[in-house]
Amino acid sequence: MQYVYPAVFIPEETESGIVYNVGYPDIPGCLTFGESISNAIEMAREALAGCLTVMQQQNDPIPVPSPVASIHCTEGFVSLIDLDMEEYRKRTEKRAVKRTVSLPQWLDSMAQEAGINFSQTIQEAIKERLGV
């Protein structure tokens, strides 16, 4: 499911520089911040995904997004944040899936003697290969 919500970005000067506080007028309590505009947008998308996930799990109604023109912001700016919940779920799903792998017998024997955790090692290798 695709969602698009207006978010309010308010810059705040801190000791380490400017941060952007982000909130959603339609989703009270859905707040985050970022150390740059691009980081704030990324964090806003993650916060939106988290809030909508909790709302769905609790069977709370998902609010209808307000039109951008109806949101008045004097200190910062309003921007639309889009979210593909299916893509988010795929990326964050923690459920394990089984895969069958083939190894040469000598490698399997050496790995077992060394006490190597096959699942952990395969996950680490795939993450390294993918750069994640």
- Find, among 11, 4, 77, the residue nearest to 45 by Cα: 4
* Percentage of the chain modeled with pLDDT above 70: 99
Spatial neighbors of 103 by CB under 8 A, at least 6 apart, are 111
What pTM was computed for the model?
0.70
Burial class (CB in 10 A: 0-12, 13-18, 19+), 84: middle
For domain 2-92, is the CATH number 3.50.50.60? no
How wide is the angle at C-alpha 47 spanned by C-alphas 41 and 53, nearest 5°? 135
Where does CATH 3.30.160.250 sit in the chain? 2-92
Give dist(CA 41, CA 83) in Å, integer. 11
User: For residue range 6-42, what is the model confidence (pLDDT) as tens digits?
Assistant: 999 999 999 989 999 999 999 999 999 999 999 999 9
